[in-house]
Structure 1
Amino acid sequence: MSLVDSAAIKRLADWDGDRLERLAAAHDTPLYVTDHDRIRENFARFDAAFDFAHVMYAAKANTGRAVIQTLYDAGADIECAAAGELDRALKAGVAPEDLQYTAVNPPDRDLDYAVDLWADTPELTITAGAEMTLDRLESRGFDGRLAIRVNPGIGTGHHEKVATGKDAKFGVAYDEVPELVADARERFEFVGLHAHVGSGVLSGDLDDHRRALQKVADLAERVGSLEFLDLGGGFGVPYRPEEPPLDIEAAAEMVREVTDGVDATIALEPGRYLLADAGALLTRVNTVKETPETRVVGVDAGLTALIRPAMFDSYHHIRNVTGGDREPVESSVGGPLCTSADVFCTDRPIPRAEANDLLAIGNVGAYGINLANQFHSQPKPGEVAIEGDDERVTRRRETFEDLTRLEDEVPGDQ
């Protein structure tokens, strides 16, 4: 099977259970496992479908050094939404000329970093989403490659919190763009328009996505003289086991049709599509409690390890790796944190979990470990990369010493 012809989605059931058990025993839990072969397969499939476009990786999905290196080596340039992501990409070996910086209400220190980087690498493109950002860039001496982010007023995706195309926080209001473009052409090397209208787009969302992208493409034709039109990312993967995967060929054909009249390079920034199904989170059962309402299954991972269910009410499939052949029992799986939000599922049929069972949570490769936090002073999980038969730690597990390290390093008496 070629990379391009690989399965459109890696289901949680496709992960080797014996290998997951071995990794959990060797590296403890909670533990992120990232399949880098799968990342390459996903990129190859996407790149082949969108063979008419310039494909970048939206680093915010997972800024792990090993992940960035894998995608950069596969041929993806890197799109960064913050200066910290620029820094991480550089430390992963990405050449500055292969970076694009998409600023969202950038702090002064972020703009300072980006402009300093541009001073040494004039190929760097900076995308601005507000008129004031242009003024702030000019005040720093920047007169280089600039793109403007468009807010088309239409959002798509799996949740209102990611439907960025209709959120005033993101981009310049649609009708104001032509005037701002004229201004930008006077002050900078204006090179393109950018838009990202939402995330988690599946086949059933393509008509809505088409309407949003069509507005942006129409604006690009109206503005004219563009080097590129960047349509962001947004293409999703199914999180529920019964959901079909995105028809990536249909998605590519839709984008091709929408942009047919645009005389510019079409750019795309997939993130979730490349990473989501390449990650699994392993967690160990420590407590089982029968209640009149449900069977409570307590595990050692919490919203500190995976916050998406609490933040977005996201569904993540859960597999009992140890006892997968047992009778399913309606169970509520939750972590060790003192909040009712710390649950991964409620009353979901799962093969009957017992103490010390290993559970795997699927589709966590995108926005999983990147959103990990230290609430309740929980150390962040470790991460292991698998490639063929090889396994290596790419992010060590935090310790209690890590939790207080920055406080311990403060000089003087405390």
Structure 2
Amino acid sequence: MFNSSILSTFQDQETPFYYYDLALLQETLDVCKQAADRYNFHVHYAMKANFNQKVVEKIKDAGFGADCVSGNEVKQAIEIGFAKDKVVFAGVGKSDREINEALENDIFCFNVESVQELGVINELAAAAGKNAGIALRINPNVDAHTHHNITTGLEENKFGINHWELHDCVEALKELPNITLIGIHFHIGSQITNLSVFKSLCVKVNEIHRWFEERGHSIKILNVGGGLGIDYHQPDEKPVADFEEYFRIFDQFLERKAGQEVHFELGRALVAHSGTLISRVLYVKNGIKKHFLVLDAGMTELMRPALYQAYHKIENISRVEGDVVKYDIVGPICESTDCFGKEVEMPQSFRGDMIAIRSAGAYGEVMASKYNLRDQVKSVYSK
């Protein structure tokens, strides 16, 4: 719950806006980095989670690499100052232009998602007089036990190379002189809170790793992706994810050889709790069956509830006491799915009250749109 001193800094701000708690962000980065360093693990920040410049600069300064899924993310990461040898480029549909720009910048690695992509990167690298380091993104067919829209590691998903395609990939690599296989890559989904899922991933990675070793391919990088979830229901009780347990599982169950590096691609767990969407109540609509709070923020500022039916803790930060009322918290957008939460209990609320939608630092600002010709959402930072 936000305290009154923080609330006072908001009073003159036009809403809606994203508030970033930079102290919490720094604490999260420090805890993650210390836990990863304990096992000599390498962490790349998933730029897709949040590319707010002040947020990303802090992540870069903490010593993380960058995991990018578009050419513009690669460009921004390098412009902000991430070391080129810490930038990886993933994505199932990289365009020729994006690949060429990444080659020009001599990035560390392309995470390749199909046999066809291998040939495209080799051809473009040859034309540019380059040799591209690549990791094969392999679909391990591991169920992440998360929302079906953010599951990426099953055979029914569009991502990665399936087991039966591995032989074709290995044969293709023999004929592609301008790419070098340096790693194998996996990512099974997002917002994973059942950490035993990562044990299952390790078993699959070990199996596939051995398959490559048996065929004479020495693998330098084991990239196990990300997916570590956060506690959206209790953001104040668990403001920092359990990075120690997360990394301990991989240290215990992932088989490595001397000199091999283990890489991770974390996003949500690093930034989600540090961001909050702040809005005001425009109207209170009291009915017989339903009571509505109509906010000045909508799905154009925070898409996740409409897109994934995602839960965010919602608080009235203007009043902490009063008769408890159940409200549907909705936005102004002309869509029935423009709803942040149903039957949300909070003190009786009034026009002008300030509402905090918590844990919105991941996939919040980055997914904002101008639908209904909305203004671009602003950002405010803690001092």
State TM-score, norm by structure 2. 0.91
Partner AA of 1:257 in structure 2: Q
* C-alpha spacing 1:49/1:161, structure 2 compared with 1 (3 Å): same
The aligned counterpart of 1:169 is: 158
Residue 62 (str. 1) matches residue 58 (str. 2): no
The aligned counterpart of 1:284 is: 280
Residue 256 (str. 1) matches residue 251 (str. 2): yes
Contact 1:195 1:232 in 2 (8 A): yes
The aligned counterpart of 1:320 is: 316
The aligned counterpart of 2:291 is: 295
Q: Which moved more, 1:353-362 or 1:141-150?
A: 141-150
For residue 208 of structure 2, the aligned residue among 219, 240, 244 is 219
Residue 71 (str. 1) matches residue 67 (str. 2): no
Corresponding pairs, count: 367
- CA drift of 1:348 comes to 1.5
Q: State how far apart, in whole Å, the 2-side matches of 1:277 and 1:286 are.
A: 26
The aligned counterpart of 2:331 is: 335
Q: How does 1:13-412 map to 2 (within 5 A)?
A: 13=1, 15-23=2-10, 25-50=11-36, 51-52=38-39, 53-117=41-105, 121=106, 124-140=108-124, 141=126, 142-166=130-154, 167-184=156-173, 186-187=175-176, 188-202=179-193, 205-224=194-213, 225-241=218-234, 245=238, 247-263=242-258, 264-386=260-382, 390=383
Q: State how far apart, in whole Å, the 1-side matches of 2:381 and 2:174 are.
A: 45
- CA drift of 1:355 comes to 0.5
Contact 2:137 2:185 in 1 (8 A): yes
* C-alpha spacing 1:94/1:251, structure 2 compared with 1 (3 Å): closer
- CA drift of 1:93 comes to 2.2
Contact 1:66 1:92 in 2 (8 A): no
Deviation by residue 1:379-401 (Cα, 9 ceiling, x = unmatched): 12100122xxx2xxxxxxxxxxx
Helix, strand or coil at the partner of 1:109: helix
- CA drift of 1:244 comes to 7.3
What's the Cα RMSD here?
Answer: 1.9
Unaligned runs of 5+ in 2: none
Contact 1:148 1:181 in 2 (8 A): no
Contact 1:178 1:223 in 2 (8 A): no
- CA drift of 1:106 comes to 1.3
Partner AA of 2:183 in structure 1: G
Deviation by residue 1:258-282 (Cα, 9 ceiling, x = unmatched): 2134552111111100001001110
Q: Which moved more, 1:359-368 or 1:86-95?
A: 86-95
Q: Which moved more, 1:254-263 or 1:214-223?
A: 254-263
* C-alpha spacing 1:63/1:285, structure 2 compared with 1 (3 Å): same
State TM-score, norm by structure 1. 0.84
Q: State how far apart, in whole Å, the 2-side matches of 1:287 and 1:335 are.
A: 10
Helix, strand or coil at the partner of 1:329: strand
* C-alpha spacing 1:131/1:206, structure 2 compared with 1 (3 Å): same
Q: Which runs of 4+ in 1 moved over 6 A?
A: none
Helix, strand or coil at the partner of 1:86: helix
Deviation by residue 1:203-231 (Cα, 9 ceiling, x = unmatched): xx122332133202321232131111011
Q: State how far apart, in whole Å, the 2-side matches of 1:58 and 1:219 are.
A: 24
Q: State how far apart, in whole Å, the 2-side matches of 1:324 and 1:158 are.
A: 33
Partner AA of 1:228 in structure 2: I
Helix, strand or coil at the partner of 2:135: strand
Q: Which moved more, 1:30-39 or 1:249-258?
A: 249-258
Helix, strand or coil at the partner of 1:198: coil
Q: State how far apart, in whole Å, the 2-side matches of 1:309 and 1:152 are.
A: 29
Deviation by residue 1:62-105 (Cα, 9 ceiling, x = unmatched): 01121111011011011111111011112212232221111321
Deviation by residue 1:124-147 (Cα, 9 ceiling, x = unmatched): 211110111111112212532111
Contact 1:128 1:147 in 2 (8 A): yes
Amino-acid identity (%)? 27
Unaligned runs of 5+ in 1: 1-12, 391-414
Q: State how far apart, in whole Å, the 2-side matches of 1:219 and 1:370 are.
A: 34
